[in-house]
Structure 1
Amino acid sequence: MPQDDIYSNLTQLGGATALPASPEAAELERVQNPQADVAYNVRFTAPEFTSLCPMTGQPDFAHLVIDYVPGQWLVESKSLKLYLGSFRNHGAFHEDCTVSIARRLVDFLDPQWLRIGGYWYPRGGIPIDVFYQTGPMPDGVWIPDQGVPPYRGRG
């Protein structure tokens, strides 16, 4: 398949796109993986992720690290950025936000493997870190440490 054809279905890249009002309204986009015959890791880091506490409405902040070994699909990065940004006005606990992101990506991409580290900044003096992965790390793929230190004024 010619390279141009795998990108023809993208609607958000290359133009102004409003931030979705909610994660449910956000539209993830994907493209065929032109290197699907090779196992490799893709990493997205969102050091300024925000959502809202569902009880108080106060902002919560996290450093997210998403690693995945793609199968037939790659997530288009602008659509992922908009999806993550849609949590800005979404009320949910840290665990729900982190695992919901992972599960939506797994359902949408059907990757060979995926993990997410949600390194949440403290509220009430307690940082909450949330980790999810689909199974054991695949053999033969270099997947570096996520590089986020334990909490000591993270940043």
Structure 2
Amino acid sequence: MSKEIYKGLSQLGGTAKLPESPEQAVLEKVPNPRPDSRYFVRFTCPEFTSLCPVTGQPDFAHLVIDYVPDGFLVESKSLKLYLHSFRNHAAFHEDCTVGIGERLVEELKPHWLRIGGYWYPRGGIPIDVFFQTGTPPQGVWIPDQGVPAYRGRG
């Protein structure tokens, strides 16, 4: 396979500055080397952080991003930098989770995408947020996200 598909990537293979905000973050993509095959891709970010827009206190989540690519794959280092750009971003759990899903759909135009945001308790209540673009494509094995409901120390 030709390395031509990696031309133009600005973050992979070198140092890249952490973006100041999700809006400034550059999500890079590469052509899907297997566009005629339907397959499943999962990214897990167990230490996602953002800020509460009211108190400014940190919020923590375990994110699971699943997609079935069409013409493009997200470049993983750019995804990592994008997700880390939320560390100083103030937004509610729903806004962060759904916003990440919508941005990935806008950039990649996948056959299908879902994101699960499994947020740790704030005020004693864990919040789980889910976004999905539609019915998963037939014939693609799509496993459960495997994140149990929050149980605390029990």
- The TM-score with structure 2 as length reference comes to 0.98
Matched with 1:64 is: 63
SS in structure 2 of the partner of residue 136 of structure 1: coil
Q: Structure 1 residue 153: deviation in Å?
A: 2.3
Aligned-residue CA RMSD in angstroms?
Answer: 0.9
Runs of 4+ in 1 over 3 A off after TM superposition: none
What are the ranges of 5 or more consecutive residues in structure 2 without an aligned counterpart? none
Query: What is the rounded CA distance, in whole Å, between the counterparts of 2:28 and 2:145 in structure 1?
Result: 25
Matched with 1:48 is: 47
What are the ranges of 5 or more consecutive residues in structure 1 without an aligned counterpart? none
Q: Structure 1 residue 137: deviation in Å?
A: 1.4
- The TM-score with structure 1 as length reference comes to 0.97
Query: What is the rounded CA distance, in whole Å, between the counterparts of 2:68 and 2:45 in structure 1?
Result: 18
Query: What is the rounded CA distance, in whole Å, between the counterparts of 1:3 and 1:66 in structure 2?
Result: 27
| More strand per residue | 2
Query: What is the rounded CA distance, in whole Å, between the counterparts of 2:26 and 2:76 in structure 1?
Result: 12
1:2-23 CA-partner distances (Å, limit 9, x unpaired): 5211001111001111110000
Query: What is the rounded CA distance, in whole Å, between the counterparts of 2:91 and 2:23 in structure 1?
Result: 13
Matched with 2:115 is: 116
Q: Structure 1 residue 138: deviation in Å?
A: 1.3
SS in structure 1 of the partner of residue 67 of structure 2: strand
* Alignment coverage as a number of residue pairs: 153
